[in-house]
Structure 1
Amino acid sequence: MSRIRDLVRFLALATVWGSAFVAISAGLEYFPPVLFAAFRYDVAGVLMLAYAAVAVDDWRPRGRGEWSLVAVGAVLLIAAYHAFLFIGQQHTTAAAAAIVVSLSPVLTTGFARLLVPSDALSPVGVGGLLFGLLGVAVVARPDPSNLLSVDAVATGLVFCAAAAFGLGSVLTRRIDASLPIETLEAWSMIGGALLMHAVSLALGEPLEPSAWTHPEALGALGYLSLVASALGFLLYFDLLERLGAVEINMVSYVAPIVAAVVGWLYLGEVIDATTALGFGFIAVGFVLVKRRALREEFGHALEWGRSSSE
Structure 2
Amino acid sequence: MSRVGDIGLTALAPAIWGSTYIVTTQLLPPGVPLTVAMLRALPAGLLLLLIVRELPTGAWWWKSLVLGALNFALFWAFLFVSAYRLPGGVAATVGAVQPLIVIVLSRLVMGTPVRPLSIAAGIAGLCGVALLVLRPGAALDPLGIAAGLAGALSMAFGTVLSRHWKPAVSPLTFTAWQLTAGGLLLAPVAFLLEPGLPVLSAQNYMGFVYLGLIGAALTYILWFRGLGRIGPQAASALGFLSPLVAVLLGWGLLGQALDAVQVAGVVVVLTSVWASQRAASAAGRKAPAA
- The TM-score with structure 2 as length reference comes to 0.73
The 3-state SS of whatever aligns with 1:77 is: helix
Return the match for 1:77 from 68, 71, 74: 71
1:263 corresponds to 2:263? no
User: Aligned residue for 2:189?
Assistant: 199
Q: In 2, Cα distance between the equivalents of 1:97 and 1:48?
A: 31
Kindly report which structure 2 residues correspond to 1:65-144, keeping only aligned pairs within 5 A, or say none. 66-90=60-84, 92-93=87-88, 101=95, 103-115=97-109, 121=114, 125-131=118-124, 139=133
Counterpart contact for 1:100–1:155, Cα < 8 Å: yes
How has the CA–CA distance of structure 1 residues 147 and 154 changed in structure 2, closer, same or farther, with 3 Å as cutoff? closer
1:147 corresponds to 2:140? yes
Return the match for 1:244 from 208, 218, 230: 230
How has the CA–CA distance of structure 1 residues 28 and 92 changed in structure 2, closer, same or farther, with 3 Å as cutoff? farther
Return the match for 2:198 from 204, 209, 219: 209
How has the CA–CA distance of structure 1 residues 255 and 125 changed in structure 2, closer, same or farther, with 3 Å as cutoff? closer
User: Aligned residue for 1:25?
Assistant: 25
Counterpart contact for 1:263–1:269, Cα < 8 Å: yes
Return the match for 1:63 from 55, 58, 61: 58
Moved more, 3-12 or 69-78: 3-12
User: Aligned residue for 2:39?
Assistant: 39
Counterpart contact for 2:240–2:273, Cα < 8 Å: no
How has the CA–CA distance of structure 1 residues 274 and 115 changed in structure 2, closer, same or farther, with 3 Å as cutoff? farther
How has the CA–CA distance of structure 1 residues 272 and 178 changed in structure 2, closer, same or farther, with 3 Å as cutoff? farther
AA matched with 2:196: L
Q: In 1, Cα distance between the equivalents of 2:4 and 2:278?
A: 24
User: Aligned residue for 2:176?
Assistant: 186
Q: CA deviation at 1:63?
A: 1.0
Counterpart contact for 1:18–1:254, Cα < 8 Å: yes
Q: In 2, Cα distance between the equivalents of 1:270 and 1:298?
A: 42
How has the CA–CA distance of structure 1 residues 239 and 285 changed in structure 2, closer, same or farther, with 3 Å as cutoff? closer
Q: CA deviation at 1:225?
A: 0.6
User: Aligned residue for 2:151?
Assistant: 161
Q: How many residues align?
A: 283
Counterpart contact for 1:76–1:168, Cα < 8 Å: yes
Could you list the runs of 5+ residues in structure 1 that have no partner in the other structure? 54-58, 300-310
Query: How big is each residue's C-alpha offset from its partner over 1:157-182, in whole Å with a ceiling of 9 and x where there is no partner?
Result: 44433321111122344449655433
Q: In 1, Cα distance between the equivalents of 2:164 and 2:217?
A: 26
Counterpart contact for 2:28–2:208, Cα < 8 Å: no
- The TM-score with structure 1 as length reference comes to 0.69
